Structure 1
Amino acid sequence: MLKIGFIVAEHSVKRLKQVQGQLEQLCELTLLPYRSLEEITALYLSRPMTLDAVIFGGELAYLALQKEINGPYPIRMSYLDVTERDFYKLMFQAHSAHPELRSSRMAVDFLDQDNGFLGIKELLQPELLPYMPEEQADRLSYEDMLRFHLELWEQGNIDLSVTRYGNLVDKLTEQGVNAVHLFPSDETILEAFNHMAQEIERLQMKANRTAVGQVQAQGLRKLREQDDPEAVLVMATLHKALLTFSGREELPLIVQKHADYFELLVSQQDLEEKWTGGFASCQLLAFLNDQLSVRVDIGWGAGETLYKARFHGQNALTLAERQPLPSSFAVMEDERIIGPLGESNRLEFTHAHDPQAEAWGRHIGITPLQVQKIIAVMHKLKRDELSSQDIALHLGITLRNANRIMNLLTEKGVANVSYQKQEKLRGRPTKIYKLQFEVLRGS
């Protein structure tokens, strides 16, 4: 069973009684109550190696730890946050008990840009909004929050303080302030713990599954078929470079030598987090092409089995080899294709069976994969207006082929010239096309 620690204000522990039984069915729960923020770091340091994750009772405790200890952290962490459901339930209860209470006469200390002000700015006119801390820095200590509420109360600006910080309630009431503590509902707490449990299980699954990297030097297969001694030298140099990179970057891997390529075995978690930085780049590719005099391409594959990961790795390598420059691609377990990694024309699209893309491709006269790539370009650039140059760059094809595709799209009514842009003093202006695949729905 997963072990999750819950660092929560002592004042709020009693609020967990109703839901504690359900939490203990989900995980091995360790309650770590604190009286002051100064205790949080010691609480955290006393348990990290015995827990799978830590959830904080609120944002302030979470920020207090981050202020004392810089990441990265050895275990997953998150904090409970109130939802719109929790907030508006409390607002309804407050107005039901006190119909004369106006929202503009309330102070709420947890509404900010990070949580979208829980939607209240979309519901109320500015003059009806409650008082809120102006800056996040104003919410980094109990003292700041206490001052926020007390000053408004003493100035006669508010009739009710709503606080997210349980340890403030007694201090506020001692000063005569009408204060209420908003703690996440049982439903919100269960959702947070369920989400954390699912995230840990996903990471553990990734850590236990193997990803495969296929690394190949261009022309090596042909050299080997010709029994050229250069093939042996290239393979030896490539092997040495792989081991050098692994040692230098402290990235564990298993290297398996094949006839004309190398296979790398790493965990899926390491592939995503360490080897590619969330599939944003591929440091190994740059290193290998700097070390060898021939072009090197890499295909990364992930899958629920080693066989599937190898299959995806080979497909990714094929995609990389089709690029005009040394490239690295990844094909994921869910058939997503990502690449070329680290390049401005990087795309993320799916290779899974898509009946709609097949129908559109057949109607237009291009492949379903080209349809998916063009749509991926539009999503990446966040616009539906593209030029042939955009298509050529992101699809890794010549401008001539990109013009051919754009002409086919125009013939079928998918693309229409939106405007022309003169990018150089001489030459023809670039045509910018507006693409609307939805016109083909039903085709």
Structure 2
Amino acid sequence: MNIGIFLPHFSLNRIQHILREYNEVNFHYYPYQTIEDLKAVYQANKDHLDAYFFSGQLAYMTALSDGETYPKPAYYMKMSEADFYRKLFKILLEHPHLDLSRVFIDFYQESEIIQRFVEELPVDKRPIITKDLTEYSMDDIYNESIKYHEKLHASGKIDWSFTRFVNTLEDFDNKGINYFHFEISDETIIQTANEMINAVRIDHLKSNQIVYGYLTFEFDNASLLESKFLAIHSKLLEYNYHMKNQLIIDASKNYFEITTNRSVLENMTNNFASCDLLPYLSKEDSTIFHLGWGTGRNFTEAQINAKRASRISESNQLSSTYILLEDEQLVGPLTGAQHNETPARQLLKMVSMDTLRERLNMSNDRIHKVLLAFDQVNLKELTSSDFASLLQISDRSANRILKEAEENGLVTVKDDRESGLQGRPRKFYVLNEGLL
């Protein structure tokens, strides 16, 4: 297990000493002086680490580039209630007449404990606080912080600074700023390290979890069935080559079994948001494919879940992918990867299928059909004939499903009064994005 520790130079020796007895973990220490140093060392080493451990909230927030998220478990050292009150008690013993209203706290937003402490004080006794780190320029936050402390002291508003920024202490001493440094205890650091190590172990187990895929297809020409099967098999092997052979593909008489692990599946499906395998198979091919993925506590459970997920796709009579996880959570329908998420895909991302079923009082099958139709065309409105055509069902069945969806609030209806057509206006069905 390789864990990166990102911390100021001043803290290096202390943290190394505290974590010295973790023999089963390889801690890699990356000391920095500026935010630019932190960003550079994080980007250079992030891919080789199993987790990221930061000295504080500031480092945790500023290590990432714009729009980036942590791909692996990331933690930071957060002050505990005991740490805060132990230090505060010691300060008040040494300075019994200290006026908290003339104190500036630069780590207020780091902990609910500190926020609660401040908010429970009478308004006229509350210290000055920085509510949000964005009040500073993030690229030069240490210098900005020092200037802000210096300004408050120079204006006569405060007598003391309470700080967590160890990189500022030398400047505080040089500028004659009165301060107390609130340090996180050894016990809190060890507790946080233990939580992170457990999270990494769980992440490893989850990433290596067995995943089973079950792929079927619809093809009516029996005389060409064998050649069609061979062509699909060839495409699967070609896809696997591009995946660097991370899939084990077994061909049966009229279906394919695919074995891999959860980490590969998450990569293939963009964290369960889309599926690029079906578009790869159906390129220049009108064959309807049904792909079910299953995870489980063992291989048999994963296999059963995959077949159940595939049957759900088959009920839609349209190419789609579903994933059935070991906790019975159903993810889908997934279609081709899209740059812009459709309202249907957003709905599936934001609300679980179980929640939708309970809220709408509709069967999973009918909810799937409605969402799949809207996802297929990436439109906000459909006619009943569009719906029937997309799902390859009769107009009567389409009207019945859409009527139920309207009655339960999954879709709303509006009339087409702008087309200029004579007679009764067409009905457009609109996905109810309010469910988000």
Q: Which amino acid aligns with 1:173?
A: D
Deviation at 1:231, TM superposition (A): 0.8
Read off the aligned partner of 2:331 and give its amino acid letter: I
Normalised by the length of structure 2, the TM-score is: 0.69
2:53 aligns with 55
CA contact (8 A) 2:100 2:127 kept: no
What secondary structure, in the 3-state scheme, does the structure 1 residue paired with 2:148 have? helix
Would you say 1:130 and 2:128 are equivalent positions? Answer: yes
Corresponding residue of 1:384:
none
Q: Deviations over 1:336-389 (max 9, x none)?
A: 11111256435378899x9xx99x99xx8x76x68999xx9xxxxxxxxxxxx9
Q: CA deviation at 1:332?
A: 0.8
- The gaps in structure 1 that reach 5 residues or longer are 377-388, 410-414, 434-443
Residue identity opposite 1:281 in structure 2: S
Secondary structure of 1:24's counterpart equals coil
Name the SS of the counterpart of 2:334 in structure 1: coil
Single out whichever of 308-317 and 148-157 deviates more from structure 2.
Answer: 148-157
Contact 1:303/1:332 (8 A) holds in 2: yes
* Structure 1 residue 327 corresponds to structure 2 residue 320: yes
- Deviates further, 79-88 or 201-210: 79-88
1:261 aligns with 2:288: no
Map of 2:33 onto structure 1: 36
Q: Report SS of the residue matched to 1:322.
A: helix
Matched with 1:107 is 104
1:321 offset after TM fit, Å?
Answer: 1.5
Partner residue, 2:310: 317
CA distances 1:272-292 after superposition (whole Å, capped 9, x unpaired) = 1x1111101111122222242
Give the Å deviation of 1:315.
Answer: 0.7
Say whether the 8 Å CA contact 1:212–1:302 is kept in structure 2. Answer: yes
Q: What is the number of residues matched between the two proteins?
A: 390
Q: Deviations over 1:216-236 (max 9, x none)?
A: 2223xx65xx5x2x1112212
User: What is the CA–CA distance in structure 2 between the aligned matches of 1:424 and 1:129, rounded to whole Å?
Assistant: 61
- Distance in 2 of aligned mates of 1:313 and 1:287: 20
Aligned to 1:159: 159
Unaligned runs of 5+ in 2: 336-341, 372-383, 392-396, 418-424
Kindly tell me: are residues 152 and 134 of structure 1, through their superposed partners in 2, closer, same or farther at Cα, counting changes over 3 Å?
A: farther
Match of 1:380 in 2: none
Sequence identity of aligned pairs in percent?
22
Superposition pairs of residues 235-246 of structure 1, within 5 angstroms? 235-246=229-240
In structure 2, do the counterparts of structure 1 residues 321 and 371 end up closer, same or farther at CA, with 3 Å as the change threshold?
closer
Aligned-pair CA distance for 1:401: 4.1
Checking the alignment, whether the CA contact within 8 Å between 2:57 and 2:78 is kept in structure 1 is no
Distance of 2:77 and 2:146 partners within structure 1: 20
Q: Deviation at 1:193? A: 1.8
Output the amino acid matched with 2:10.
H
Question: Kindly tell me: are residues 46 and 281 of structure 1, through their superposed partners in 2, closer, same or farther at Cα, counting changes over 3 Å?
Answer: closer
One-letter amino acid of the structure 1 residue matched with residue 234 of structure 2: K
Query: Which amino acid in 2 is paired with 1:58?
Result: G
Classify 1:126/1:401 alpha carbon distance in 2 versus 1 (closer, same or farther; 3 Å).
farther
Question: Superposition pairs for residues 18-417 of structure 1, below 5 Å?
Answer: 20=19, 24=22, 27-28=24-25, 30=27, 32=29, 34=31, 36-37=33-34, 52-62=50-60, 66=64, 76=72, 78-83=74-79, 85=81, 89=85, 92-93=88-89, 97-98=95-96, 100-103=98-101, 105-112=102-109, 119=115, 128=126, 130-132=128-130, 133-135=133-135, 137-138=137-138, 140-186=140-186, 188-219=188-219, 226=222, 228=223, 230-248=224-242, 250=244, 252-272=246-266, 274-342=267-335, 344-346=343-345, 347=348, 398-401=398-401, 403=403
Q: Answer yes or no: is the 8 Å Cα contact 1:203–1:269 preserved in 2.
A: no
Distance 1:111 1:332, change over 3 A: same
Deviations 1:110-129 (A, max 9, x none): 345x9789646866799856
Shift of 1:90: 6.6
What root-mean-square deviation, in Å, do the aligned CA atoms of Structure 1 and Structure 2 show?
5.1
1:9 partner amino acid: P
Scaled by the length of structure 1, the TM-score of the pair is: 0.68
Amino acid at match of 2:296: G
Whole-Å separation in 2 of the counterparts to 1:59 and 1:142: 14
1:197 maps to a residue whose letter is: I
Q: Distance in 2 between matches of 1:314 and 1:212?
A: 9
SS at match of 1:345: helix
**CA offset at residue 329 of structure 1?**
0.4
Deviates more, 1:250-259 or 1:275-284: 250-259
Contact 1:32 1:43 in 2 (8 A): no
Q: Secondary structure at the match of 2:128?
A: coil
Shift of 1:260: 0.8
Q: Deviation at 1:172?
A: 0.7
Q: Give the conservation status (yes or no) of the 8 Å contact 2:161–2:179.
A: yes
CA–CA separation in structure 1 for the residues paired with 2:9 and 2:199: 27
Deviation of the 1:271 alpha carbon: 0.7
> Does the C-alpha gap of structure 1 residues 240 and 137 become closer, same or farther in structure 2, counting only changes over 3 Å?
farther
Q: Distance in 2 between matches of 1:168 and 1:241?
A: 59
